[in-house]
Amino acid sequence: MRKPCLWLTPALMLALATGAFAGDHATYIRPIEMTLPAAGVTQVVLINLVGPVTVETAPDAAIHLEVLVHAGGSDAAFARTLAGQLDFQTQQTGGQLRISGVYPLDHFRDYGYPNMKSILGIHGTDSNEYNGQKVFIRDVGSDKAVELWADVRLKLPANLALVVRNTYGDVELRGSGGAAPGGSVDGFTDVGDFTVYRPAWATVKLQTDYGKVEFTDGFGAAQDISLNTNVGGTYLDLPGDAHAKIVAHKDLGFLHNDLTTANFSKNSDGDSVLQLGPGGGPVVHIEMSVGSLHLKKVGS
């Protein structure tokens, strides 16, 4: 098990120094940074309980992790001590590198988060399982919860297989550079939105139980795309000359096509199919229980 190495960049020093105080409430931000060699790594697994996750592909041969641990409490001493209870550890087994948020589950099972989503009138009191323990994510003002969460930022080569498991929080995926043969991303968040900008992975598989999935500037290098939402829509912002085959299934929702004049047709499985362009491009499979599909031009 490898412990994180800590050092402070100017940006992180500034974040650390801004332990904000509001009345009798204090917050503290503890930075964690590490750089790991990508040599010998074929898959990276990132696991976090609560907080936003941002992943960006980079052309170098290293894996960079930056975490801002956020904690709050009735005074500065408590907030600082609590921030020290959340760590991120790495473990490499063969070609797999696991990066895991280690929360103080022996002491706390209820975690407060300031960016809660209200879903069908429910405000985050559903229970989840994390590392085999039952946990609750609640509003940061709940008297049952401790304010402890992580803002996770990861950079890695696009040719690696990436697995993201985030229990509560939005996930942003950003690509740079060209296609990555063999590169893939498999992402899941129980409550949160996926935002994807020009992905550099060839295979993209995303699932959120409560939240939306949005591609903000085309499909990038992706060729095989699978999107699944339980409660939440799918938003695809594409160039006007986009080439792709879209296969969508929904139980309750609508299909909005503001990109072309083409119409969806039904296949033998009852799915709605739309061919953009004369052929070629990625195949996009969309599964929605409650949600609508929105196709529109980039920038509209």
Per-residue pLDDT reduced to its tens digit, 21-43: 345 789 999 999 999 999 999 99
3-state SS class at 126? coil
Would you say residue 2 lies in a domain? Answer: no
Between 231 and 178, residue with greater pLDDT: 231
Q: List, for residues 159-180, the tens digit of each pLDDT value.
A: 999 999 999 999 999 997 566 6
For residue 108, tell me if it sits in a domain: yes
Question: Cβ-count burial of 14 within 10 angstroms (0-12 exposed, 13-18 middle, 19+ buried)?
Answer: exposed
At 129, the pLDDT band (50, 70, 90 cuts) reads: very high
Q: Is residue 3 part of a domain?
A: no
Q: CA-CA distance, 249 to 266, in Å (whole number)?
A: 10
Q: Is residue 120 part of a domain?
A: yes
Considering only residues 134 and 127, tell me which one the structure prediction assigns the higher pLDDT.
134
* Selected residue with higher pLDDT from 243 and 13: 243
* Total number of domains constituting the chain: 1
Give ∠ CA 156-159-160 in degrees, rounded to 5.
65
pLDDT at residue 231 above 70? Answer: yes
Query: Which residue range forms the structural domain that includes residue 177?
Result: 10-297
**Rounded to two decimals, what is the model's pTM?**
0.90
Give yes or no for residue 208 having a pLDDT over 80. yes
pLDDT, tens digit, 9 for 90 and up, residues 269-300:
999 999 999 888 999 999 999 999 999 999 88
Does some domain include residue 76? yes
In a domain, 1, yes or no: no
Sheet containing 283-290: which strands, arranged edge to edge?
87-93, 96-102, 43-50, 161-168, 180-191, 201-210, 224-231, 283-290, 244-252, 272-276, 265-266
* Percent share of the chain, pLDDT over 90: 79
Band of the pLDDT at 201, cuts 50, 70, 90?
very high
With bands split at pLDDT 50, 70 and 90, how would you rate the model's confidence at 87? very high
What b/e readout covers 126-152, taking b as 16+ CB neighbours within 10 angstroms?
Answer: eebebeeeebbbbbbebeebbbbbbbb
Convert the pLDDT of each residue in 92-127 to its tens digit. 999 999 999 999 999 999 999 999 987 555 555 568
pLDDT at residue 14 is higher than 90: no
pLDDT band at 185 (very low <50, low <70, confident <90, very high): very high
92 assigned to some structural domain: yes
Residue 5 maps to a domain: no
Q: How far apart are CA 49 and CA 56, in angstroms?
A: 20
